[in-house]
A = this chain, B = another copy of it.
Amino acid sequence: MSQQAVNGVSHRGKVLTLDSMNPNVKRVEYAVRGPIVQRAVQIEKELKEGVKKPFTEVIKANIGDAHAMGQKPITFLRQVLALCSYPELLEDNMFPEDAKKRARRILESCGGHSIGAYSASQGIECIRQDVARYIERRDGGIPSSPDNIYLSTGASDAIVTMLKLLVCGEGRSRTGVMISIPQYPLYSAALADLGAVQISYYLDEDKCWSLDVAELRRALNAARQHCNPRVLCIINPGNPTGQVQSRQCIEDVIRFAKEEHLFLMADEVYQDNVYAEGCKFHSFKKVLFEMGPEYSSTVEMASFHSTSKCYMGECGFRGGYMEVINMDPEVKAQLTKLVSVRLCPPVPGQALLDLVVNPPQPDEPSYTTFMKERTAVLAALAEKARLTEETFNTVPGITCNPVQGAMYTFPRITLPQKAIDKAKEEGQVPDMYYCMRLLEEEGICLVPGSGFGQREGTFHFRMTILPPTEKLKVVLQKIREFHLRFTQEFS
């Protein structure tokens, strides 16, 4: 007799159970906030409660969360946000005039002059204008229209919305979406949720995680047997792999997309995070337009940007935008309708985005401080990118490509066969076992490579390079010691 019947409660079981829930949701996986992070949070609680550990704090290097790692907010951005939140401060003398000017302009474009009003679903018009002008400056004058800009709740929101528009068909006609392996798991999660077919193309680890069109073609041809490939997703600079694509590579990808009739999704949220000498960010849009009208008037594309990364790292505000190019006007109307159901992206995030695309100018009072803060963040990241690569490459059993851009390293780890066997015994994939051990023994939280995808038989982890330099040195040293100890243990 069941417990419920014992209590005299008639019971048919729950309406919503693991068996009766949306099966697509069950297939969703998001390693960046997966079981290892849950365990990290638990350990933090245990430390607070006084449980003795071999370390005194957990360092969460699992996610690109700059402020959580101690990076200070950029003064100008926060001054304007405070002014927008409490416009009475506009009367105060403590804020510079350019901050007040920006705040007034944003407030004037809000309903009732309040960031508490809903905005247009596509985003506040004057901010979309500023975004378009930013893109034009970035791309050497190639025109951008505010009508093609959609503000969003972080880049993730826009990426999922765009994928949702593109997915249709059943069985062999089901939409296939090409994503890199390793990938940022938002993509695989969104595809699982939408019931779309994931088409994996592999980045070449031996060539600094570069993208090879022959590999794109191999993956595409294989996929054509069982689905309808329609979309090609690119992350540049790369997450989790940190590579920065060459102009030539981007041109090849665009040519491939056109030949194969694919919609291009260019995830360019790390466009200001380029560190390696000789590397430069080239936007897909700029390259597309430089390839001439045969391309620029036909290839359909969406490009994504965010306020969460770059020098500002304002993840909590969930600001972002996408620009759509060559999108069918009828589809654009459908997109506008779709985003209107959620009413609007958070207005504080929209305001923040406005400041990012329209920062202080040389003749404005906040310019010097702003530039000093911005440069300091980016210079420190460049230093940490170099430090990370160098240190890892001194460890036998770890090989690490240069962190050319973004905020992560994705080093390859060689695991002894005995460790692989041990992991299987414990019912874990080997790199999860490795990362869990590292967490328990050193208090460092990384994400196993299996959460991003990797070639069969290879193992990696993703680590952000965001901890402050002195702390990063400690982290790298601890991983080094752990790796040697771990390898020793299973040799």
Which residues on the B side are within 8 Å of A342 (C-beta)?
Answer: 153-154, 156-157, 160
Cα separation A25 to B86 with both chains bound (whole Å): 38
Contact B156 A28 (CB under 8 A): no
- Looking at the complex, which one of B63, B114, B316 makes contact with A348 (CB distance below 8 Å)? B316
Cα separation A30 to B118 with both chains bound (whole Å): 15
Which residues on the B side are within 8 Å of A348 (C-beta)?
Answer: 85, 316-317, 346, 348-349
User: Is chain A's interface secondary structure helix, strand, loop, or mixed overall?
Assistant: loop
Cα separation A168 to B68 with both chains bound (whole Å): 38
A70 proximal to B (CB < 8 A): yes
Stretch of A241-249, A276-284, A333-341, A360-368 lying at the B interface: A333-341
A67 proximal to B (CB < 8 A): yes
Cα separation A299 to B70 with both chains bound (whole Å): 45
A190 proximal to B (CB < 8 A): yes
* Most chain B CB atoms below 10 A, which of A118, A154, A262: A118
Cα separation A313 to B8 with both chains bound (whole Å): 45
User: Which residues between 117 and 163 of chain A lie within 8 Å of chain B, taking CB atoms?
Assistant: 117-121, 153-154, 156-157, 160
A306-330 vs B, Cβ < 8 Å mask (1 yes, 0 no): 0000001111111000000011101
Which residues on the B side are within 8 Å of A10 (C-beta)?
Answer: 294
Cα separation A318 to B218 with both chains bound (whole Å): 44
Q: How many residues of A contact B (CB 8 A)?
A: 106
In the complex, the count of this chain's copies comes to 2
Nearest residue, chain B, Cβ from A257: B15
Cα separation A76 to B13 with both chains bound (whole Å): 46
Which residues on the B side are within 8 Å of A442 (C-beta)?
Answer: none
Contact A20 B67 (CB under 8 A): no
Cα separation A139 to B120 with both chains bound (whole Å): 36
* Most chain B CB atoms below 10 A, which of A22, A85, A347: A85
Q: What would be 21 A-B contacts, judged by CB atoms less than 8 Å apart? A: A9-B294, A11-B298, A14-B326, A15-B300, A16-B327, A16-B331, A17-B331, A22-B168, A30-B341, A33-B121, A65-B111, A68-B117, A82-B83, A85-B348, A116-B312, A156-B341, A160-B342, A164-B193, A185-B341, A317-B348, A346-B348
Interface residues of A (CB under 8 A from B): 4, 7-12, 14-18, 20-23, 25-26, 28-30, 32-34, 41, 63, 65-73, 78-79, 81-83, 85-86, 89, 92, 94, 110-112, 114-121, 153-154, 156-157, 160, 164-168, 185-186, 189-190, 193, 230-231, 261-263, 293-294, 297-298, 300, 312-318, 326-328, 330-331, 334, 337-338, 340-349
